[in-house]
Structure 1
Amino acid sequence: MSRDAGRPGGLAFAGWLFADLLLVIVLVVLGSEVPADEPDPDPGPTPTPTATATATPGPSRSPSPTPPDTSRPGGLDPVTVSVGIRLDPDALIAGRPAETAELTRQITQEIKRYEGRTAAFVMVFGTVRTGSGGSGGSVDTGRSDAYATAVARLLPQAAPQFFPPYSEKIIRGYHDSGSGIASGTARIELFFLLS
């Protein structure tokens, strides 16, 4: 009696393996197909041909340059600008008017060199340390986030012509746990639109 009597032959196994491999190839080919562009649901009115007079340009005429396409915004400038301020985080989080006024003073001073521009996207990185402050102690991420968010919320009030209206989508607060950063520091990354 043969040892392989109860097992299917190697040829049958190869057939199933080939069928599975063929199925995988079909799925890959179908998945890599690029869908055709969908037709415009509202193509607009069909232009009607009109008679136009054709003139032969004289030797002194030159074609006028095509104006640049300004219908699309240029997007965000990949080169960011960073400004920094330093405040009492707990006083700012509590909304004390003196600390809010100090934020306005420092921000106004920092953005003077960017006069005429408007920030399109802003990221605020706050650092609040435990202990006596300074650059010693560990970073308290909860208070750092709260501090950064408080700064982010107040920026449009401090300089409304420079900062966009507050929205978590375009002005966001984060904690910064980098070593050597003093407690109460807020680093503000500014993104401008390409011009």
Structure 2
Amino acid sequence: MRDGHLSTPTVAIAGWLFADLLLAFLIITLGMDSRPPAEPDPVTEEVVEPVPHGLDLDPIVVELQGVSPAGAAAGEEEIVEELREALLEHDLADREAGMVLTFGANGGPAEGERFASDINGLLPRVHPGVFDDAVTRTFHSLGGSVGWLRIEIYLFAASEPTD
């Protein structure tokens, strides 16, 4: 740089920088979609919004005493009927269980879980259609005596309010 004048190479570099910036702005501008989204064709049919299919947060809770673990393991009809009677007061017609947590007491932890698993296996016979696709979890109860049972049933939310 002599006498405050820019040399030719510096001016040339500035010109190329300016050209590169213009090219970058052009690419960015072309990449942007400035057109408004197209209007959808008017539909003559009414669109039905899907109903949320979540679980009711308040479970149906059933507690039973004196249920025979051996009878549950054997799948006795007497145990099925006992479970059916316990669930009779709850309106399960046209409902579907999403999740069932079953707590069983039958001595040790392994026996309690096996008892709860046997009960879960009987539930589809208690109410066909309600428990067929339900996710079940079994637990051992530390506080219950042999034959004690607690079933927590989480139903899918009703599509229409029930009275």
TM-score by length of 1: 0.51
User: Structure 2, unaligned stretches of length 5 or more?
Assistant: 1-37, 159-163
Instruction: Tell me the C-alpha RMSD between the 2 structures.
Output: 2.7
Distance change >3 Å, CA 49–CA 74, structure 1 → 2: closer
Q: Secondary structure at the match of 2:124?
A: helix
Distance change >3 Å, CA 114–CA 186, structure 1 → 2: same
Instruction: Return the alpha-carbon distance in structure 2 between the equivalents of residues 128 and 155 of structure 1.
Output: 19
Residue of structure 1 in register with 2:141 after alignment:
176
- Structure 1 position 49, deviation (Å): 5.6
Q: Secondary structure at the match of 1:171?
A: strand
Matched to 1:192, the amino acid is L
2:86 maps to 1:118: no
Matched to 1:189, the amino acid is E
TM-score by length of 2: 0.60
Instruction: Return the alpha-carbon distance in structure 2 between the equivalents of residues 157 and 165 of structure 1.
Output: 13
Q: Say which structure, 1 or 2, has more relative contact order (CA 8 Å, 6+ apart).
A: 2
- Structure 1 position 175, deviation (Å): 0.9
CA contact (8 A) 2:68 2:79 kept: no
List per-residue Cα deviations over 1:151-182 (Å, max 9, x = no partner): 1111112221332346xxx022111112xx22
Name which of 55, 64, 67 aligns with 1:87: 67
Residue of structure 1 in register with 2:119 after alignment:
151
Distance change >3 Å, CA 77–CA 67, structure 1 → 2: farther
Indicate the percent of aligned positions where both proteins have the same amino acid: 22
Instruction: Return the alpha-carbon distance in structure 2 between the equivalents of residues 160 and 77 of structure 1.
Output: 20
Matched to 2:113, the amino acid is D
Distance change >3 Å, CA 47–CA 150, structure 1 → 2: same
Query: How do 1:123-142 residues align onto structure 2 when only pairs under 5 Å count?
Result: 123-129=101-107, 140-142=108-110
List per-residue Cα deviations over 1:125-147 (Å, max 9, x = no partner): 10112xxxxxxxxxx10100111
**Structure with max Cα Rg:** 2
- Structure 1 position 189, deviation (Å): 0.2
Residue of structure 2 in register with 1:160 after alignment:
128
Instruction: Return the alpha-carbon distance in structure 1 between the equivalents of residues 103 and 115 of structure 2.
Output: 9
- Structure 1 position 105, deviation (Å): 1.0
Q: Secondary structure at the match of 1:113?
A: coil
